[in-house]
A and B are shown apart, each in its own frame.
Chain A
Amino acid sequence: METSTGLDNRKLMMWLFLASDCLFFGSLIAAYLLYRDRSLVGPYPGDLFDIPFTSVSAFVLLMSSVTMVLALSCIQRGDRRGMQVWLFTTAVLGLLFIAGQAYEFTEFNHEGLSLSTNLFGTTFFVLTGFHGAHVTLGIVVLLSLFVASLQGRIQQKDSLNVELAGLYWHFVDIVWIVIFTLIYLIQP
């Protein structure tokens, strides 16, 4: 499936999507930074953020990027078993990250922060919620690939499928790299 440029259509589409998603998350991050200090009532970021916990989540997502690229490396070498192990590990790490985010959201809610409490709550939950939705979609894709490979439907010649899933997965990782620094570590 190649374009007139000789490039694969699916890969071109994925890169185009990721480029457009930069704008999507860029806008959400800008909205958060613009409105986080304009809340009329608490709680405020400094009252809620648990940096040690979020740091562990960030490490988990970073490591999932390593396991993802190892899965791709395996299938490109024809090692299907290795790819299955690393794909499943990546999905588990993704699930751990989402579990951590669910815990964080629940804790914040118990502290009185909801989507409609103040501008901080609205922009924070929309930004991190959309990121979490991206991660969740990525987990579904990874598990689908894992099941397909168990059924023998992912061979070395199909490595592009794993590569496309990997591109998406690494993108949610780089978005978290930015969110972790700008939203959590750099606070007023």
Chain B
Amino acid sequence: MTLAHYRKGQTDAEGAEGEVHLEPGGHAHPSAAEYLKIGAILVVVTSIEVALYYVGMSETALVAVMMPLSWLKFILVVLWFMHLRFDNPFFRQLFFAGLALAIVVFTVAMATLGGKLV
């Protein structure tokens, strides 16, 4: 990715009074109503997680269901509340590179030292 790419849209950041601040290459942030919708989804997903805890599923099934739900919440917060969906792509690449490295270190440590989720 070139320097010009990151600078693309830089003039958008120099908005008039009342306009939303944008990073170069970014897009407008969501409305308050959209944030509330995301919040409601997070509450529902967390409620499902807690309910599943009491269902008494097998350990393997619990991991198989809980992990995607947790990942969904994680992604919703990162993409919408932290604006990675709308901000400059460089921030997204930076954060997910760190996250990917953390997941690799986590996986290697668990595999090497005999760790398990359940």
Contact across chains for A22 and B63 when beta carbons are under 8 A apart: no
Which single residue of chain A is at the shortest CB-CB distance from B88? A7
Binding site of B, secondary structure by majority: helix, strand, loop or mixed? helix
Which single residue of chain B is at the shortest CB-CB distance from A21? B98
Q: Residue B10 contacts which of A6, A160, A185 (CB distance < 8 angstroms)?
A: A6
The smallest C-beta distance from B99 to any residue of chain A, in angstroms, reads 5
Separation of A1 and B75 alpha carbons in the complex (Å): 29
Q: Find chain A residues with CB under 8 A from B52 CB.
A: 185
Which single residue of chain B is at the shortest CB-CB distance from A16? B94
Contact across chains for A6 and B24 when beta carbons are under 8 A apart: yes
Contact across chains for A26 and B118 when beta carbons are under 8 A apart: no
Stretch at the interface among A27-35, A93-101, A143-151: A27-35
Contact across chains for A182 and B23 when beta carbons are under 8 A apart: no
Contact across chains for B74 and A34 when beta carbons are under 8 A apart: no
Which single residue of chain B is at the shortest CB-CB distance from A8? B23
B73 within 8 A of A: yes
A102 within 8 A of B: no
Q: Residue B35 contacts which of A6, A33, A66, A78 (CB distance < 8 angstroms)?
A: A66
A109 within 8 A of B: no
A187 within 8 A of B: yes
Contact across chains for B78 and A174 when beta carbons are under 8 A apart: yes
A116 within 8 A of B: no
Contact across chains for B35 and A73 when beta carbons are under 8 A apart: yes
Cβ < 8 Å to A, chain B residues 73-97: 73-74, 77-78, 80-83, 88, 90-91, 94-95, 97
Contact across chains for B46 and A22 when beta carbons are under 8 A apart: no
B18 within 8 A of A: yes
Contact across chains for A30 and B106 when beta carbons are under 8 A apart: yes
Q: Find chain B residues with CB under 8 A from A73 CB.
A: 29, 31-32, 35
Interface, chain B (partner A; CB < 8 A):
3, 6-7, 10, 17-18, 20-21, 23-24, 29, 31-32, 35-36, 38-39, 42-43, 46, 49-50, 52-53, 59, 62-63, 66-67, 69-70, 73-74, 77-78, 80-83, 88, 90-91, 94-95, 97-99, 101-103, 105-106, 109-110, 113-118
The 27 listed contacts between A and B (C-beta, < 8 Å) are A7-B88, A7-B91, A21-B98, A22-B95, A22-B98, A26-B102, A26-B106, A27-B105, A29-B106, A33-B110, A33-B115, A34-B114, A68-B81, A70-B32, A160-B21, A163-B83, A166-B81, A166-B82, A167-B82, A174-B77, A174-B78, A177-B73, A178-B70, A180-B49, A185-B50, A185-B53, A186-B117
Interface, chain A (partner B; CB < 8 A):
4-8, 11-12, 15-16, 18-23, 25-27, 29-30, 33-34, 51, 55, 58-59, 62-63, 65-66, 68-70, 72-73, 76-78, 156, 159-160, 163, 166-167, 170-171, 173-174, 177-178, 180-182, 185-188
